[in-house]
Amino acid sequence: MFNLGYTLTIVILGTMLLGGISGMLGTFVVLRRQALIGDALSHATLPGVMIAYMLINVRDLEVLLIGAFVSAFVAMVLLDVIKNYTRIKFDTSMALILSSFFGFGQVLLSHIQKTGAASQAGLSRFIFGQAATMLRADVYMITLIALIVFITVMVFWKELKLYIFDEAFFKAMGLSARVASGLITVLVVIIIVIGIRMVGVILMSALLIAPSVAARQFTNRFYLNVAFSGLIGSLGGIIGTYLSATRANMPTGPVIVIVLGTFVIVAIMFSPRTGLIKRYFQNVIYKKRVKRFRKLIHLYEHPSQTYLDETEAQYFLSHDYVMIEDGNVKITRKGMARIRSIKAVHVDES
């Protein structure tokens, strides 16, 4: 259990900052359709942590994180080499890197644990994280790195935005897509490295992806997506940390991920823009309108092939949807507009 008060405040500040910057940066990854890259690079940090420990035989956090960064950087280089010099698809190469690096890390962890050295205690916590041991110095480090990442994104905002949405035009302007991609990946690696201690290598990708997926349900505007994603990530960190400290008998990392997953489900279900609930009711209303106006729709599409009975003709005439001209029933402009509005709902829903 946490000691409610100072310790809980420190942990909440750390997870809030980490969740916010991870969510913000995750938007770039999701929009580039490279959601798996965060998972691959987070898993790739594990062997680096173990090798760093084996080199110094001391569980020094700074050294272990440097090892994690080097390992993730090597994985990033391998991904780039596989992408550019082989015929292996990018998602396949990410899955390959993810499984092989994580498996290698597990082998090294098992070997270290068999040595029985007292200093190796706690290395396994990098798999699922342990935010409860966070100190004020850790919060300062997260704050500094979050500021660096945020400022970097703001400085290159226009270039990164153009790269994400129109890579061909980005290249036509003489800018390097490889540099832009590398910048995003390096920033992701930095965030992963500082986050694996709190949420672990397995769950770190959720901190990157889940906030952006939830935010995407509410807006198509890029800057709002980034802002909402950062806000959702921060709220997930705050709520998850509080629940793990006061309600759930679970590590902080998994609870944060559960909270973020809940945000995603709620957003998908109840989003006023694309929510499943809205789509369901739109579909019900659409079917009722189609049933009511089926003859008018047929008249709209086949002006000379529709027969209206007296009741239908009276209803459509009373609403100025049709008119009688030379003894024939013809659809009016108002009727055409009504049918177009019905069809528009169906198009938006599909």
Mean pLDDT of the chain, nearest integer: 84
Q: What CATH number is attached to the domain comprising 200?
A: 1.10.3470.10
Which of 272, 289, 305 is the last residue before a domain boundary?
Answer: 272
Percent of the chain with pLDDT over 70: 92
71 and 187 fall within a common domain? yes
Q: What is the pLDDT of residue 122?
A: 66
In the predicted model, what is the mean pLDDT of residues 18-27? 93
In a domain, 295, yes or no: yes
In a domain, 1, yes or no: no
158 and 285 fall within a common domain? no
Furthest C-alpha separation in the chain: 99
Using CB atoms within 10 Å of the CB of residue 350, give its burial: 0 to 12 exposed, 13 to 18 middle, 19+ buried. Answer: exposed
* pLDDT score of 228 more than 90: yes
204 and 322 fall within a common domain? no
pLDDT in tens, 252-276: 888 899 999 999 999 999 988 788 8
Residues 6+ apart with CB under 8 A from 165: 31, 222
249 and 294 fall within a common domain? no
268 and 291 fall within a common domain? no
Residues 6+ apart with CB under 8 A from 142: 14, 17, 18, 194
Q: Model confidence at 327, in pLDDT bands (50, 70, 90)?
A: low
172 and 312 fall within a common domain? no
The domain in which residue 166 lies consists of 6-272
Separation between Cα atoms, residue 178 and residue 253, nearest integer Å: 33
Residue 205 and residue 42 in contact, taking contact as beta carbons nearer than 8 Å: yes
* pLDDT score of 171 more than 50: yes
Angle in degrees, CA 6, 120, 253, rounded to 5: 45
Which of 272, 288, 317 is the last residue before a domain boundary?
Answer: 272
Map residue 322 onto helix, strand or coil.
Answer: strand
The CA-atom distances, in angstroms, between 90 and each of 36, 97, 107, 334 are: 10, 11, 26, 52
* pLDDT score of 86 more than 70: yes
In a domain, 104, yes or no: yes
- Residues, the chain, total? 350
Buried b (16+ CB within 10 A) or exposed e, 97-127: bbebbbebbeebbeebeeeeeeebeebebbb
48 and 129 fall within a common domain? yes
268 and 172 fall within a common domain? yes
Residues 6+ apart with CB under 8 A from 133: none
Residue 18 and residue 194 in contact, taking contact as beta carbons nearer than 8 Å: yes
Separation between Cα atoms, residue 69 and residue 44, nearest integer Å: 9
Which of 237, 252, 272 is the last residue before a domain boundary?
Answer: 272
Percent of the chain with pLDDT over 90: 25
In a domain, 83, yes or no: yes
Separation between Cα atoms, residue 263 and residue 213, nearest integer Å: 9
Separation between Cα atoms, residue 81 and residue 182, nearest integer Å: 13
261 and 330 fall within a common domain? no
Q: What is the pLDDT of residue 3?
A: 46
More confident residue, 228 or 300: 228
Domain count, the chain: 2
23 and 51 fall within a common domain? yes
In a domain, 292, yes or no: yes
Separation between Cα atoms, residue 136 and residue 11, nearest integer Å: 9
Q: What is the pLDDT of residue 2?
A: 45
Amino acid at 267: A
247 and 297 fall within a common domain? no
232 and 313 fall within a common domain? no
